[in-house]
Amino acid sequence: MLSKTDEFWTPDQFKEFISLIEKDEFIFKVFYTTDDLTGMHLGEILAFQWKYLDKFRREINVYKALTYINQEYIITAPKTKNSVRCISINSKLITLLDEWRQHRRKFLMN
């Protein structure tokens, strides 16, 4: 069993991990960086919508989660009332999310 100190990567360990992601796999860099900097769960990240990002306040609002129920993926409210929350984020993550949004737009237009 992991102790509390073993459950998280150090900043250097995360930098080493993220450096291994290839440029053409940018979505993984965005996903893992968002996870690392916010602590959001997988389903919360997958249910993220741009309207949940408040750049002015530098926050991500968590209102929904992607859940697998009865052999179907659906977007639901998070499991507990405390899971609905605002997460403070830094400008680095905002920039990365903006880059992903632009990358996604270019991809969808082709």
Whether 56 shows a pLDDT value over 90: the answer reads yes
Task: Tell me how many helices (H) and strands (E) the chain has.
Answer: 4, 5
Q: Higher pLDDT residue, 1 or 78?
A: 78
Kindly report, residue by residue over 8-54, the tens digit of the pLDDT: 788 999 999 999 999 889 999 999 999 999 999 999 999 999 999 99
Report the SS3 class of residue 76.
Answer: strand
Structural domain spans, the chain: 11-109
The structural architecture, per CATH, of the domain 11-109 is: Orthogonal Bundle (1.10)
> Any idea what DSSP says for residue 22?
-
* Burial class (CB within 10 angstroms; exposed 0-12, middle 13-18, buried 19+) of 62: buried
